[in-house]
Structure 1
Amino acid sequence: MAPDNKRRPTPQGEQFFTPGATGLRKAVEQRSAVPMAYLFTQVPRWVAPVVLVILLLAGFAVTNPLGGVAVLPVIAFIGWLAFLSWPSLGIGGKLLRVAMLTFLVLLAATRFGAL
């Protein structure tokens, strides 16, 4: 008997690529398609948020450069998602993403002793 496969289907009606995109945006969107599809269809929904929260908590708790290292994957992941979603965001969404990334970079900088 085949194992029960509980993969989530990809969302209907969504467009992953930005129409008319060129250059860096087009390259990043194309390179991101496989990891994004894998995260959406193969990884349980709770895994990414839990991992990110654990890394962020480690960044808060550890006040030396290891805390900064723990925050770097969070910055990379949030930055990646912000870049991909940027064209479809309103001003509020853009401001929220800039504020979040600024906060995370400042947190990492304090852990590395740059501030």
Structure 2
Amino acid sequence: MAPDSKRPLPKGEQFFTPGATGLRKAVEQRSAVPMTYLFTQVPRWTAPTVLVVLLLVGFAVANPLGGVAVLPVIAFIGWLAYLSWPSLGIGGKVMRVAMLTFLLLLAATRFGLIAP
């Protein structure tokens, strides 16, 4: 793909949850621009690579700096989990809760809030 070309948005997908109100509607509306930017402007490998590097730093550095490295991973995964929650089955929901729990425990151990 040429550097100037942009990926088109997927067809047939609905970004907003039908009938959403309140917080969900607000979060989905505020997330539309960053999600579109990530999908159309940023190379596909960028976000996963950055997240893996931050997670590896979180594993390797056993002090608060490691915890700080995990925080953006928690925020990004939590954001995506929140956005995708209504369309998930029970297995997907359990996996997202397990992943966020694991990441929060990792950060807590790095900040010294719980023993490793």
Q: TM-score range by the shorter chain?
A: over 0.9
Q: What corresponds to 1:39 in structure 2?
A: 38
Instruction: Give the letter for the 2:62 counterpart.
Output: T
TM-score by length of 2: 0.96
Distance 1:86 1:99, change over 3 A: same
Q: CA deviation at 1:6?
A: 1.7
Q: Deviations over 1:9-66 (max 9, x none)?
A: 0000000000000000000000000000000000000000000000000000000000
Residues 73-112 of structure 1: pairs in structure 2 closer than 5 A? 73-112=72-111
Q: CA deviation at 1:4?
A: 6.0
CA distance in 2, matches of 1:112, 1:68: 6
Q: How many residues align?
A: 113
Q: What corresponds to 1:71 in structure 2?
A: 70
DSSP 3-state at the match of 1:60: helix
Q: CA deviation at 1:5?
A: 2.2
CA RMSD of aligned residues (A): 1.0
DSSP 3-state at the match of 1:38: helix
| Unaligned runs of at least 5 residues, structure 1 | none
CA distance in 2, matches of 1:34, 1:4: 21
TM-score by length of 1: 0.96
| Unaligned runs of at least 5 residues, structure 2 | none
Find runs of 4+ consecutive structure 1 residues off by over 4 angstroms.
none
DSSP 3-state at the match of 1:13: coil
Residues 14-25 of structure 1: pairs in structure 2 closer than 5 A? 14-25=13-24
